[in-house]
Amino acid sequence: MLDVEVFGTGLAPGAPPIEVVRRLCVRASASAGVHDGHLAIEFVDTAQITRLNAEHRDQDRPTDVLSFPIDGAGTQTSQRRGRGGGAEHGERPAAPPRELGDVVICPEHTSDLREAIVHGVLHLLGMDHETDDGQMLSLQRELLAREKG
């Protein structure tokens, strides 16, 4: 199961309800084969996003969304869980849920918070629209269209 925490909703009066934020995160993660783990979405003000952008990207200006992956990109390997399994039967014990990372969004600089959420999660999963051939943004559009449809 994907555990999603949401912080700073007071800074995002137009934010989707928490259950919609979670659903967007689950769908975006599932599109990359990630079904277990933890991530956080935090809404921040212009000063905070500017500080983070300067500190981590050497760009002293506000931006809409930043992603901070923690356990690396890509899909999680599955663990074998059979009848009577477990470490005492020669199997690897189940790994704890993966810490995917944090997505930081500045509502003041974001025209569509749903899009920013999906965009940030896709970046946590290792996708990069600046280096791919349009796959990330295409997937982002597809996921958002499913949400509206």
Whichever domain contains 14, its CATH number is 3.40.390.30
Does 40 reside within a domain?
yes
Does 79 reside within a domain?
no
Does 28 reside within a domain?
yes
Among the listed residues 66, 60, 47, the one whose alpha carbon sits nearest the alpha carbon of residue 108? 47
At 78 the pLDDT is 29
Does 87 reside within a domain?
no
- Interval 77-90: pLDDT, tens: 322 223 233 344 44
The stretch 82-106 carries a mean pLDDT of 63
Does 23 reside within a domain?
yes
Whether 91 shows a pLDDT value over 60: the answer reads no
- Interval 111-138: pLDDT, tens: 999 999 999 999 999 998 888 888 999 9
Residue 142 is part of which domain span? 2-74+97-148
Does 25 reside within a domain?
yes
How many CA within 13 A on the CB side of residue 29?
25
Does 89 reside within a domain?
no
Helices 135-148 and 113-124 cross at an angle (nearest 10°) of: 130
Please state, in angstroms and rounded to a whole number, the distance separating the CA atoms of residues 131 and 114.
Answer: 23
At 81 the pLDDT is 24
**Total domains present in the chain:** 1
pTM above 0.95, yes or no: no
Q: Find the radius of gyration of the CA atoms of the chain.
A: 17
Please state, in angstroms and rounded to a whole number, the distance separating the CA atoms of residues 116 and 102.
Answer: 13
Does 88 reside within a domain?
no
